[in-house]
Structure 1
Amino acid sequence: MSAATSPATQVDYLDFMKSFNAEDLWRDVTAGADVVNACVACCDRWADGDRVALIHDRGGVTTQTTYADLKKRAARFAHLLTRQGIGKGDRIAAMMPRTPDMLAVLLGAWRAGAVYVPLFTAFGPKAVESRVHGSEAKLVVTDAVNRPKLDGADNMPKIVVIGGGQQAIDAGDLDFETEMAKGSDDFAPVPLDRDDLIMMLFTSGTTGSPKGVRVPMFALTGFLAYMRYSVDLRPDDKFWNIADPGWAYGLYYAATTPLLMGQTTLYSEDAFTVDNFYRVLKQYGITNLAGAPTAYRLLMAAGDAAAAPVKGQLRAVSSAGEPLNAEVIRWFDRALNAPIRDHYGQTETGMVLCNHHALTHPVHEGAAGFALPGYRIVVIDQDNNELGSEQQGELAIDRQNSPLLVFNGYWGREPLPADQRYYRTGDTAEINADGTISFFGRADDVITSSGYRIGPFDVESALIEHPAVADVAVIGKPDPERTELVKAFIILKPGVEGTDALRDEMAQHVRKRLSAHSYPREIDFVTELPKTPSGKVQRFILRAAEVAKLTDAGAPV
């Protein structure tokens, strides 16, 4: 089996790594095309005939869009950009829901050589403003529903409104369909090199302004490796990635790479609920699923009965965004008869550390797996020394031995020095005796209590096993005696009363499952947890609130 082939059955990880060649994947991305262009790679080569690119669902109503349709719409949008003076290397921003037009704008930007900048539809004006200004975008595309969100953002470029009609024109905007009608269905794709940018995404870090991540054409090789070897997307799969394309995991792996592989991807515009999830899963016969632990915990909280009608339907399930709790893994096995695998990555790198569905290797609870082919993942100390097994340090990527790694610094900042061997992820991890790597959390999330280093994920995983817990977040609260104490914020399942007795029971549960120093000494029952729009728990908000309370009380912090 060549490295560019998607395996129909599992193959040994170590044997596969010996034969892996990144250039095999690059040749597969370009597929011998006369012009190297992301629209050609993700659309044109599949556009002969009636192959379906997208199934769009809204309230159970289905529309299908073929690759041929998308190619024509992409060409028309490329003409729109050209008329606005936008060409190769220019950035355009898009705040759009999961619709066929979103894909047409993405592909059309690529066809014209432009760089696509996603704006999540839940962003407020300042979040939009920072990304539009930070990328120096020359155009913003949105729909009539989201257009008012741009009113509070200063110094916006020209705005194109989908469904805006005459009202948009009267307001000084461009109406999308009016402008699309002016173009033709043909537009020669702009040639790109492997280092030319096709996307720019902004990190949502806890401090400072969001930083622009440059995504070049060659990044498609890493995306393809992930979908083939980790997600194990096969031609006969019915695939659904529930992540929003306003964020990296959705843009990279719900939009871009399924199209790169000539697959049919699915967009559902309905808000995520357990009922909607199971309806879509059943209605479209989904066999390969990707999403975040937040959604999977909601399914688990809804119970086995809700899952019963689709039990055995899913062939492969992938999880990204946060570490996957062991109890969720066991529940998927029991209630859905589905293997769920934990995957790790960042906006900067794409997915790089995975329990691969298509490659055989040791898989166990609490471990994020092995490096994606094309990357060498290590754990290092503060002095850049590589650590051996069972030594906690910082997860890093060996830049000299990771041919698929494209990140070399943020937009508008100095690139990483060529001789800097490691890209530090800022995440704490440990190599296990079997070679798998366990992820403990962001370095600034790790709790130091009485000299012990405690990963919040371990405590959260123990608590989520308790039958009364629906969701949980754990932080280190400043404490003069212990440096920090473990504090848990818990959402209870419906009908459960939060009592002192229950707090004691949960603390003892963790103490027995983990250790005497890891149990939460404080537990707050809450109705919601602060999360990013992509579902990641924002522990820093909880920690800041605790620090503020201590400061107000005059306690040392």
Structure 2
Amino acid sequence: MRDYTTAATQFDYLQTAAEALDGDLSALNACIECCDRHVASGRTALYWEGRDGSSARYSFGELQQQAARFGNFLKAQGIGPGDKVAGLLPRTAELLVAILGTWRVGAVYQPLFTAFGPKAIEHRLSNSGARLVVTDSANRSKLDEVNGCPSIMTVAEASEQRAGDFGFRDQLAQQSADCEPVLLGADAPFLLMFTSGTTGPAKPLEVPLRAIVAFQGYMRDAVDLRPEDNFWNLADPGWAYGLYYAVTGPLSLGHSTTFYDGPFSVESTCRIIHKYAITNLAGSPTAYRLLIAAGQTFAEGIKGCLRVVSSAGEPLNPQVIRWFADNLGVTIHDHYGQTELGMVLCNHHGLQHPVHLGAAGFAVPGHRIVVLDENNQELPAGQPGILAVDREQSPLCWFGGYQSGTTKAFVGKYYLSGDTVELNADGSISFVGRSDDVITTSGYRVGPFDVESALIEHPAVIEAAVIGKPDPERTELVKAFVVLAKDVAPSPELAETLRLHVRQRLAAHSYPREIEFVTELPKTPSGKLQRFILRNQEIAKQQADAAHAASA
């Protein structure tokens, strides 16, 4: 195991990256890096497991051929460098083919989470200007409600194929498996992501090709992915952690990845860990807490299988760390990142450094992470402030701003994360909380503005405010405060109607699990919503309830 101090002070990463990518950074193609370079090895690239127990495996060579066919289809449609191709697909081989084939022709892949409703999909497609959206029969009907929807390609049986749609299998069968990859510069985008905000809808940001270097560093140093490991990242590739580190990261290292196309459960998790001899596991604290809730059933099912476990998406509870050590004899480490940055603060499995309960860890090599006060001055240990990236001394920091071109996150040489942290004496950093209103629930980031907008679309609602309410299982749950129209009476039935309305329009993880009807919302004199007042009221209620229960 390498010493962290040595690894973290080596800032010649661009030269190292050029060597790792088998060339210089002026001519890159993500399909080459994540597929073509590894064909000669004969290794498996994807292990796929269906919800019904069916399974398949695909080599890098097989994926290369299918990606080339998909790439030729795109070229026939006039889609090439810089164009956007969206994927609304579950975790299947077709998803991976669409991603790799998009990259092959120099186009940009845009993920759409399959739990998104029409409103969330329409916002992302209209902002991206996507030329094509690839979906399957289970998600196809959502696109009927999307205004201005681009051309559609559907993975479906012949009997389910819609008139006017391109058929995925038929179209690929007609194409040649010879498609020359398009080489681009390191700053050319290969992914288009959207990230939640507090004052507007989700914002688009482009991920440049040079980010692959940073993704590899995380897989190597933090996840400690070794050639002999069997790796499974539980995250969906519709989100950053899954797309960055269940697809791009492992494949670019020539390592296989695992897709499970089914709902999360203790039974399926244990089955897949055993069937594929998983030794290196990554996921969210919510998933781990659900597994722990199964008690010894889960522990007995996988004890002795795992070598290391990584956690990302929300702070890792100390009790989860202790449970994995005591019951499974395995180390689980906390990792921190954002869609804009990738993972930048970790307790590294592959580097030697102190690990403290409650600390998010140390800066990922290639990044300088600091804590700033309200005047954007760097703080010493022991004082809470805003986590920031020193961009001038972070050669692996690839985020250049949102597609809109404007952001308050850049102040001088710093990128401000919006998270409150504290620097510890040994150089590690502990997470304190969000400094804005973005909600973290079950590992997902939810922008309150999106939920409020969906609620206000309902004719019964005049105003709405949405907050994250502290929750021991999900970190936070989404709670809405709703002001109703003059002639509408509050009721449990109406609350359920509003919940379903949001769930159908946005996503299953975004809907408010709690709705409280109020007559007015707290605002500033200028009319700006003060969500923090509502959040503080909820925390005070929870504390009062806990005190009452303790004295009873």
Q: Which amino acid aligns with 2:386?
A: E
SS of the residue corresponding to residue 378 of structure 1 reads strand
Q: How does 1:146-161 map to 2 (within 5 A)?
A: 146-161=139-154
Match status 1:339 vs 2:318: no
SS of the residue corresponding to residue 107 of structure 1 reads helix
Partner of residue 176, structure 1 = 168
Partner of residue 483, structure 1 = none
Match status 1:268 vs 2:260: yes
- C-alpha change, 1:72 and 1:537, in structure 2 (3 Å) is closer
The CA deviation at 1:312 is: 2.4
1:143 to 136, 158, 162: 136
Partner of residue 67, structure 1 = 60
1:285 to 265, 277, 291: 277
Match status 1:26 vs 2:20: no
Partner of residue 466, structure 2 = none
- C-alpha change, 1:268 and 1:418, in structure 2 (3 Å) is closer
The CA deviation at 1:75 is: 0.5
SS of the residue corresponding to residue 121 of structure 1 reads coil
Match status 1:43 vs 2:35: yes
CA distance in 1, matches of 2:232, 2:438: 33
CA distance in 2, matches of 1:402, 1:446: 26
The CA deviation at 1:86 is: 0.5
The CA deviation at 1:26 is: 2.0
What CA RMSD, in Å, does the superposition of the two structures yield over aligned residues? 3.0
SS of the residue corresponding to residue 436 of structure 2 reads helix
- C-alpha change, 1:418 and 1:251, in structure 2 (3 Å) is closer
CA distance in 1, matches of 2:133, 2:32: 23
SS of the residue corresponding to residue 401 of structure 2 reads coil
SS of the residue corresponding to residue 197 of structure 2 reads coil
SS of the residue corresponding to residue 102 of structure 2 reads helix
Render the CA deviation track for 1:418-454: whole Å, top value 9, x for unaligned.
982110000010001221101112113699xxxxxxx
Q: How does 1:371-390 map to 2 (within 5 A)?
A: 371-390=363-382
The answer as to whether partners of 2:283 and 2:311 remain within 8 angstroms in 1 is yes
1:236 to 224, 228, 231: 228
The answer as to whether partners of 1:440 and 1:446 remain within 8 angstroms in 2 is no
Q: Which amino acid aligns with 2:238?
A: G
The answer as to whether partners of 2:480 and 2:515 remain within 8 angstroms in 1 is no
CA distance in 2, matches of 1:325, 1:415: 32
Match status 1:258 vs 2:256: no
Partner of residue 517, structure 1 = none
CA distance in 2, matches of 1:266, 1:345: 22
The answer as to whether partners of 2:116 and 2:506 remain within 8 angstroms in 1 is no
The CA deviation at 1:103 is: 0.8
Match status 1:195 vs 2:196: no
CA distance in 2, matches of 1:265, 1:161: 24
Match status 1:16 vs 2:13: no
The CA deviation at 1:47 is: 0.8
**Comparing 159-168 with 384-393, which one deviates more in the overlay?**
159-168
Q: Which amino acid aligns with 2:98?
A: V
**Comparing 299-308 with 31-40, which one deviates more in the overlay?**
31-40
Q: How does 1:317-332 map to 2 (within 5 A)?
A: 317-332=309-324
- C-alpha change, 1:230 and 1:552, in structure 2 (3 Å) is closer
Q: Which amino acid aligns with 1:186?
A: D
Q: Could you tell me the TM-score, scaled by structure 1's length?
A: 0.79
SS of the residue corresponding to residue 280 of structure 1 reads helix
The CA deviation at 1:61 is: 2.4
2:124 to 125, 131, 137: 131
Q: Could you tell me the TM-score, scaled by structure 2's length?
A: 0.80
- C-alpha change, 1:35 and 1:402, in structure 2 (3 Å) is closer
Q: List runs of 5+ in structure 2 lacking aligned partners.
A: 440-468, 482-501, 523-532, 535-552
Q: Which amino acid aligns with 1:361?
A: H
The answer as to whether partners of 2:335 and 2:347 remain within 8 angstroms in 1 is yes
Render the CA deviation track for 1:376-401: whole Å, top value 9, x for unaligned.
00110121100111101111100111
Partner of residue 502, structure 1 = none
Partner of residue 399, structure 1 = 391
The answer as to whether partners of 2:43 and 2:60 remain within 8 angstroms in 1 is yes
CA distance in 2, matches of 1:218, 1:240: 24
The CA deviation at 1:29 is: 4.4
The CA deviation at 1:534 is: 13
The CA deviation at 1:51 is: 1.2
The CA deviation at 1:49 is: 5.0
The CA deviation at 1:207 is: 3.8
Match status 1:355 vs 2:343: no
- C-alpha change, 1:477 and 1:362, in structure 2 (3 Å) is farther
1:55 to 47, 50, 65: 47
Render the CA deviation track for 1:304-345: whole Å, top value 9, x for unaligned.
242123212211100000000001000111111110000000
- C-alpha change, 1:165 and 1:412, in structure 2 (3 Å) is farther
The CA deviation at 1:551 is: 3.7
Render the CA deviation track for 1:286-321: whole Å, top value 9, x for unaligned.
100000011000011111242123212211100000
Render the CA deviation track for 1:21-79: whole Å, top value 9, x for unaligned.
21144214421389521111110011125310000011332200000001000100011
CA distance in 1, matches of 2:362, 2:115: 34
Q: List runs of 5+ in structure 1 lacking aligned partners.
A: 1-9, 448-458, 465-469, 479-529
SS of the residue corresponding to residue 345 of structure 2 reads strand
Q: Which amino acid aligns with 1:26?
A: A
SS of the residue corresponding to residue 47 of structure 1 reads helix
CA distance in 1, matches of 2:157, 2:164: 11
Partner of residue 69, structure 2 = 76
CA distance in 1, matches of 2:286, 2:217: 25
CA distance in 2, matches of 1:20, 1:357: 20
CA distance in 1, matches of 2:417, 2:521: 34
Q: Which amino acid aligns with 1:67?
A: F
The CA deviation at 1:472 is: 5.7
The answer as to whether partners of 2:231 and 2:257 remain within 8 angstroms in 1 is yes
Count, aligned residues: 473
The answer as to whether partners of 1:321 and 1:536 remain within 8 angstroms in 2 is no
CA distance in 2, matches of 1:29, 1:531: 44
Render the CA deviation track for 1:240-284: whole Å, top value 9, x for unaligned.
001000000000000111110101110011210111111111111
The answer as to whether partners of 1:379 and 1:393 remain within 8 angstroms in 2 is yes
- C-alpha change, 1:425 and 1:35, in structure 2 (3 Å) is closer
SS of the residue corresponding to residue 368 of structure 1 reads strand
Q: Which amino acid aligns with 2:397?
A: L
The answer as to whether partners of 2:117 and 2:503 remain within 8 angstroms in 1 is no
The CA deviation at 1:239 is: 0.3
Q: Which amino acid aligns with 1:423?
A: Y
CA distance in 1, matches of 2:257, 2:244: 12
Partner of residue 506, structure 1 = none
CA distance in 2, matches of 1:537, 1:121: 11
SS of the residue corresponding to residue 53 of structure 1 reads strand
CA distance in 2, matches of 1:261, 1:426: 32
The answer as to whether partners of 1:397 and 1:423 remain within 8 angstroms in 2 is yes
The CA deviation at 1:536 is: 12
- C-alpha change, 1:259 and 1:552, in structure 2 (3 Å) is closer
CA distance in 1, matches of 2:122, 2:368: 37
- C-alpha change, 1:388 and 1:35, in structure 2 (3 Å) is closer
Render the CA deviation track for 1:480-521: whole Å, top value 9, x for unaligned.
xxxxxxxxxxxxxxxxxxxxxxxxxxxxxxxxxxxxxxxxxx
CA distance in 1, matches of 2:505, 2:216: 25
- C-alpha change, 1:195 and 1:416, in structure 2 (3 Å) is farther
Relative contact order, higher structure (CA 8 A, sep 6+):
2
Render the CA deviation track for 1:88-122: whole Å, top value 9, x for unaligned.
01111110111111111101001000000000001
